[in-house]
Structures are given as C-alpha cells and as structure tokens.
Structure 1
Amino acid sequence: MKKFECPDFVLGDKLTEEQFNFFDKYGVIIFRNFLNSETVQLFIQELNRIEKQWLDEGRDKVNGIPLKFGKDQDGNKMIQRMCFLSLYSKPLHEMLQDPRVQALVGLLYPYEGRISENEKDGLILNHYVRMPESNFTQMGWHTDSPRDLFLGQKIMPMLNVGLHLDDTPFENGGLRVLPGTHKQGILRLLFGKKYFIDNNPDRREIGFDLFAGDLTVHDGRIWHRAQQSPLYGEASRRRVMYVPIITGKYMPKDANSKTPFYHRFASKVQN
C-alpha cells in the first residue's frame, strides 16, 4: 500500500484533455479545493440540521434506503450513513447544479450521463467516527457495479463523485483504490475479492492525502475500500458526501420505494 501523488488538478466548467487521460488510465482523479472553507462549514451545518431532524422524527430509512446509525464520542446516537440529502437542503441541491459538477458527466463519454439526485441512494454522507463500540469505521473492498445486477439490469458504467469535508491524510485511513481495475473483465469485477467482507490491504492499492473541500471521482467498476483510521474519537472523524453519475434507464425513488436487497446484505458485512 502506498500514497499516490496525484497532480493538483483544478475542476473548471470543462474538463481538460490531461484530466480525461489521467482518469482513463487510473480510474480515479482528485480535484483540489473544489469547495472553499466557508462552503464546507455551510454544508456541515446543513448535514447537522438534517441529522437532528431525522433523529427527532425517528426515521430509519429515506425513500426505501436504510440509514446507518452509531454513537459519537459522547455516546449520543448519530447517523453514520445518510442518503438523498440534496432533496432536503437547498445549498446541497444547488451544489449539484454547479457547472463544474455537471462537467464531470463528460467522464462517462461515450455514454450519456446524469447526476443521480433522486435515483439509487442520491447524495449520501458517509460519516466515519471510530469509537470502541462503533459499527461503521471502515468499508471493505467492493465495486459499485453489482447493484445493477440486483436490480435486474446489465452492468452500466457509472461514476462516484466524493466531496470531502474533513482533512484526511493518508495515514488516517480513507479512500483506497486498485488503479486501473475499472478496465478489468467481468469475472474479476464480480469475483476478484470478497465484497465488503475483505478489508485486507492489497500490495497494489494506493491512497491519498485528502483535504476538506477536495473532490474525488472514481469509476464505479474500480475496486476500492475505506481504510479504518488508527485513531479514535474526534481525530478519526471523516465526512464524505458521494453522488453517483449514471446512465441507462431513469429510475427515480420516492417514499413508497422498496428497500433493495443489496442494502440488506451490505448491512450484515460492513463495519
């Protein structure tokens, strides 16, 4: 496992040829300082507001997608995985309309893509805090592709756009990927590792120094995981919002949507 030195790309309203080529080769790319510090704090405030509202309401799922709960460093109940957040926040909704975010759709070329605001799980938050009793401190190896099979569809190209709200140096865990595996064959995609169960480091994997305000994009077909922090409490906190860019049939979700099978399976193997 090693730290990957990614060029300091800046995301504009159009992608450059260098950015296209880099992503095509590695299946992952980092854009620095996508959000300024004031916007990061605004988004954190919005997330805290939504979390409090949902806890007060006793929600356990949104549009059929289960919420994942844990305890913070003070022993209070918290939501460690939230979904469809932009449907409950004007600033988060407006962020998805940002021309820079819309430009990322081009990475799906030659497919026609769209921001998945009300499909799949929408805009999610993964909130990792490591405590002795925590249930959500890491995520095992997986790709984002098999969910299409669970929905009775063929595997379609997709992207996952990550917005990082905390500084996460390489040594503190976080995103790990096997670069180039977005071009693997279907057998390696489905059976290359034990989905979510396998948390073991891989000699080929790379990690990153990520900072609050950075934006990452990874191809949904690439093998990736979230490395557990070696620290506990506040020092271990990592908040990352993800939204998919997808193609294929339009399949919006609402309050009457059923819980997909893969969510019930994932809840048993993530920790």
Structure 2
Amino acid sequence: MKKWDSHFQLGDTVTAEQLDFFDKHGVIVFRNFISRGKVNIFIDELKRLEQTWLEEGRDKVNGIPLKFGKDEHGNKTIQRLCFSSLYSDPLHQLLEDDRLKALTAFLGPYEGRIAENEKDGLVINNYINTPNSTFTQMGWHTDAPRDLFLGQKIMPMLNVGIHLDTCPFENGGLRVIPGTHKQGVLKLLFGKKYFIDNSDDNREVGFDLNAGDLSVHDGRLWHRVKQSPKFGEESRRRVMYVPIVTGKYKPKDENSKTPFYHRFTSKVHH
C-alpha cells in the first residue's frame, strides 16, 4: 500500500499534464481548492442541515435514504446527507464554481455536467469511528453497477470529493487502485467482492488529504474508504461528493422512488 503525493492546483481549465495523469491513473488530487474559511462555512452548513433534518424527522431526500448513526455521546447523527446543495445557498454557490465545471474535461469526448439534482446530488459523508457509528469504512467497489441496476449502459462519471477534515494517509481514508478505470466489464463486476472486501491490496494508493483539498476519481476505478485507526473526534472525516455525470438528464424530486439498489447498499454506500 503506497502513499502518493500531489502538487496539482486546479485553475479555470485543466492542463495537459493533469489530463494525462488522470487518463493514466483514473485519480487526481488538487491541493487547496477551498480556503479554511470556506471549509468552516461548509461545516456549519452541514451541522445546520443535520439539525434541521433530525428535528423534522426526515429519513430520505428525493427518494434517497439518509444514513444515521450515533456520536460518542450516544446522540443520533446523520452520517450521509444527500442533495444538500438544494437546501443551502453556500453549497449551491459552490457548485457554480467554474473550476468544478472545468473538471468535465476529464470525461474526454463525453459531455459532462454537475448532477445537483440527479443521482444523490451533493452528498456529504460524515465518517467517525465510534462504537455506535454505522459509517466507519466502506469496502472495495466501483460506481458502475448502479448503471447496470438501472438497466443502463455503464457510463463514465467522476466522483469529486471536497475534503473538510485533514486526513493523513495513516489515518485511513480514500484508497484507489490506479488504472483500473480501464478494466473490462468482467473485472469491473467480479474483480472484488463488492463492499464486503475491506482487505489491503498491494496495488492500492492513498494520499495525505488536507481540509480544502479536492480529489477526483473515475467511477469505474476500484476504490474504498479505509477505517481510521483512531476513535471519536480524531477519526472524523467529512467529505462532500459532487457527482459529475454523462448521459441522459434524470432529475429527482420529492416524489422520486427509492432505487432498489439502496436496499443492498444501505450499510455501505457513498
């Protein structure tokens, strides 16, 4: 298991060097995408949304279930929020950032768009390692079977993570197997046991991620979230995921049905 460093910065367009790197590996990390001040604003928004939704007794948004757990004091928390930018001006404005739109270049010939009201919208994951946490890690998976479940062709998509907590490589976090975004369909479907397999892989890499960094990985890449060896507040990792998708526009609203794959992945999904 190796740690990769990254020196990339994201401007209003992606550079040829960045395109080549992503094409080869299927993953790239950009440093200092947002300021510390912005990070704090987004954490405040996460807390506000969580409190509001808990008070309302909300259990899903636009048909997608929220994921609940408990903090170290036994209080109920939401560990996965979806469509969060539809309920927050600062988060909605974040998705208007031209630098995020520039990332669509990584989809090559496909026309990409930020899926604010498609898939699960802007997801905020709140990982914490406590005895009552339901969200401490996530097994190996790719994002491709979702398309198959929905009877669609596997389309390229980007998972863009905006990191709100500093997570050194040693503290767990995102792990990927570089280059596997180019694997054939059989490897994509059967290369590993989806979500069940949490074991280390000698091909996998991770990064030191700092609050404010941005990571991008191809949805067809094998990836996982490794459990933190720490407990409680020290293990907390909050990451916002912006889906950049291709293909037919499929917006969701409050009448949308819960996709049936959520029954299988309720324990494990990002």
The Cα shift of 1:5 comes to 2.3
Q: CA RMSD in A?
A: 1.1
Q: Structure 2: any 5+ residue segments left out of the alignment?
A: none
Fraction of identical pairs, as percent:
72
Question: How far, CA to CA, are the matches of 1:140 and 1:248 in structure 2?
Answer: 27
Contact 1:138–1:270 at 8 Å: present in 2 too?
A: no
Contact 2:72–2:132 at 8 Å: present in 1 too?
A: no
CA deviation vs aligned residue, 1:135-186 (integer Å, no higher than 9, x gap) = 1100000001110111111110100000000000001000000000000001
CA deviation vs aligned residue, 1:175-219 (integer Å, no higher than 9, x gap) = 000000000001000110011111111111011100000000000
- Equivalent position of 2:23 in the other structure: 24
Question: How far, CA to CA, are the matches of 1:22 and 1:174 in structure 2?
Answer: 21
CA deviation vs aligned residue, 1:87-111 (integer Å, no higher than 9, x gap) = 0011111111101011001111110
Question: How far, CA to CA, are the matches of 1:133 and 1:51 in structure 2?
Answer: 17
Q: Structure 1: any 5+ residue segments left out of the alignment?
A: none
The Cα shift of 1:270 comes to 6.1
Question: How far, CA to CA, are the matches of 1:181 and 1:228 in structure 2?
Answer: 22
- Equivalent position of 1:236 in the other structure: 235
- Equivalent position of 2:67 in the other structure: 68
SS of the residue aligned with 2:266? helix
Question: How far, CA to CA, are the matches of 2:135 and 2:13 in structure 1?
Answer: 36
The equivalences for 1:166-205 within 5 A come to: 166-205=165-204
The Cα shift of 1:133 comes to 2.2
* 1:4 paired to 2:4: yes
With normalisation by structure 2, the TM-score equals: 0.98
- Equivalent position of 2:127 in the other structure: 128
SS of the residue aligned with 1:237? strand
The equivalences for 1:38-117 within 5 A come to: 38-117=37-116
- Equivalent position of 2:13 in the other structure: 14
CA deviation vs aligned residue, 1:67-104 (integer Å, no higher than 9, x gap) = 00011122111000000011001111111110101100
Question: How far, CA to CA, are the matches of 2:124 and 2:71 in structure 1?
Answer: 15
Q: Aligned pair count? A: 270
Question: How far, CA to CA, are the matches of 2:194 and 2:115 in structure 1?
Answer: 23
Q: Letter of the 1:105 partner, please give it.
A: T
Question: How far, CA to CA, are the matches of 1:115 and 1:269 in structure 2?
Answer: 24
The Cα shift of 1:134 comes to 1.7
Contact 1:84–1:118 at 8 Å: present in 2 too?
A: yes
Q: Letter of the 2:227 partner, please give it.
A: Q
Q: Letter of the 1:263 partner, please give it.
A: H
